Amino acid sequence: MAERFFTVEEANALLELVRPLAEELVARRRALADALARQERIAGKVRSNGGGIRHDEPAEVDAALSAEAEAVARCVERINELGVLVKDLDLGLVDFPALRGGEEVLLCWHVGEDEIRYWHGLEEGFGGRKKLPL
């Protein structure tokens, strides 16, 4: 059971804090994916004789990976501290625990939506989203 439950109004008001964190989360996750792809390209070059790699490039990519992974973790932590659950790093999908007739449900929002318009049961996930009202 969640520590805190939100009304739709409370969750929408909290978007003022959640939205910029979720937007940063998506951007940092994208940067992390780019750094991982770059690391894989470098590894491929190393496996095929190491040509075309600057001497400082592997360390540069490792530093970028570390920085972006830490930034993603910080965003998730800050969102979780607000009582909100991060569900998808790439979409910036978050859920706000709520109650519907005494039953725990989740108010669902992701980056790009202007307000919370959907909810779903605990086991349904994104695919089971239903339009508000509860």
Q: What is the pLDDT of residue 130?
A: 97
Tell whether omega for the bond before 133 is within 30 degrees of 0, i.e. cis. yes
pLDDT at 80: 98
| pLDDT of 27 strictly over 90 | yes
Look at the block and give the residue holding tokens 């390209």. Answer: 41
Give me the residue spans of the domains in the chain: 8-131
Our CA angle for 7, 9, 11, nearest 5°, is 70
Assign 36 a pLDDT band (cuts: 50, 70, 90).
very high
